[in-house]
């Protein structure tokens, strides 16, 4: 009996640790619109956020303004680095103004099967098949995934079901979900949100960014 009990406890423990916990953010832009999607998966449910850019605020802090100018001066005389790109994107995101909406999804929702596959896909699969592809659509997409302590970032131009199937299905699934019914509102603001710019936050499991749920 003790052996059977021990086996059951081991099984339950393994089942608990197998729960999916990850965060995915997708940033989309083209000539006419910009929006960002973010999904937080945590075992029993998922929080899904959507934000559409409606403008910029011009009230930059002096600290941020000086930081931006310093980077701009430096990259005129040297090669731009990943850190430069990350900082400039974070500053740009900080002063954008968004319309926001959000909802909670049960883990049984069809979209979650897509996001589970997206979160666990190898980077090579996420990169897609863009060789020899003629891009007519001017859209661009950036996908960030934080899963089990690993941070992945992928850029895609005009993703389609043939070039980037997982990314395309995630985008379509989210927008289809929002078009049906009235979501349970969690956040609805038009104020710019301060981005997370500290890598230590990434280690704690939060994707650095603009739409993390406020406590």
What would the pLDDT profile of 76-129 be if each residue is shown by its tens digit? 888 888 788 778 777 777 776 667 677 888 888 888 999 999 999 998 888 877
Which of helix, strand or coil describes residue 151? Answer: strand
**Is 162 within a domain?**
yes
**Is 80 within a domain?**
no
The pLDDT confidence band at residue 179, using thresholds 50, 70 and 90, is low
Q: What is the Cα–Cα distance from 129 to 127, expressed in whole angstroms?
A: 7
**Is 210 within a domain?**
no
Q: Per-residue pLDDT averaged across 34-50, rounded?
A: 82
Token pair, residue 176, equals 């289809």
**Is 131 within a domain?**
yes
Q: Per-residue pLDDT averaged across 57-76, rounded?
A: 83
To 5 degrees, how large is the angle CA 189–CA 101–CA 64?
Answer: 45
The pLDDT confidence band at residue 177, using thresholds 50, 70 and 90, is confident
Task: Pick left, alpha or beta for residue 81 (phi over 0 → left; psi -120 to 50 → alpha; otherwise beta).
Answer: beta
The owner of tokens 């349970």 is 184
**Is 183 within a domain?**
yes
The pLDDT confidence band at residue 158, using thresholds 50, 70 and 90, is confident
pLDDT at 121: 92
pLDDT at 130: 59
**Is 48 within a domain?**
yes
**Is 69 within a domain?**
no
**Is 199 within a domain?**
yes
- Whether 56 has a pLDDT exceeding 80, the answer reads no
Structural domain for 26, as ranges: 20-59+95-203
Contacts of 103 (CB under 8 A, 6+ apart): 47, 48, 177, 178, 183, 184, 185, 186
pLDDT at 115: 92
The pLDDT confidence band at residue 137, using thresholds 50, 70 and 90, is low
The answer to whether 156 touches 143, Cβ cutoff 8 Å, is: yes
The pLDDT confidence band at residue 65, using thresholds 50, 70 and 90, is confident
Please count the structural domains in the chain.
1
Q: Is the pTM of this model over 0.75?
A: no
The owner of tokens 């999904």 is 39
């Amino acid at each position: 009996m003790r052996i059977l009990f021990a086996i059951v406890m081991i099984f339950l423990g393994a089942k608990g640790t197998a729960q999916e916990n990850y965060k995915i953010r997708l940033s989309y832009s083209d000539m006419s619109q910009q929006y960002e999607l973010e999904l937080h998966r945590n075992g029993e449910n998922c929080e899904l956020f959507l934000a559409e850019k409606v403008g910029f605020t011009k009230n930059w802090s002096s600290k941020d303004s000086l930081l931006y100018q310093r980077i701009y001066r430096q990259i005129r005389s040297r090669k731009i680095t990943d850190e430069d790109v990350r900082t400039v994107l974070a500053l740009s995101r900080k002063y954008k103004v968004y319309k926001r909406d959000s909802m909670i999804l049960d883990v049984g929702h069809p979209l979650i099967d897509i996001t589970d596959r997206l979160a666990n896909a190898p980077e090579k699969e996420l990169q897609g098949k863009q060789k020899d592809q003629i891009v007519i659509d001017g859209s661009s997409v950036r996908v960030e995934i934080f899963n089990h302590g690993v941070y992945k970032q992928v850029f895609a131009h005009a993703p389609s079901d043939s070039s980037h199937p997982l990314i395309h299905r995630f985008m379509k699934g989210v927008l289809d979900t929002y078009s049906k019914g009235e979501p349970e509102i969690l956040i609805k603001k038009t104020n710019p949100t301060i981005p997370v710019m500290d890598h230590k936050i990434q280690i704690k499991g939060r994707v650095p960014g603009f739409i993390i749920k406020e406590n």
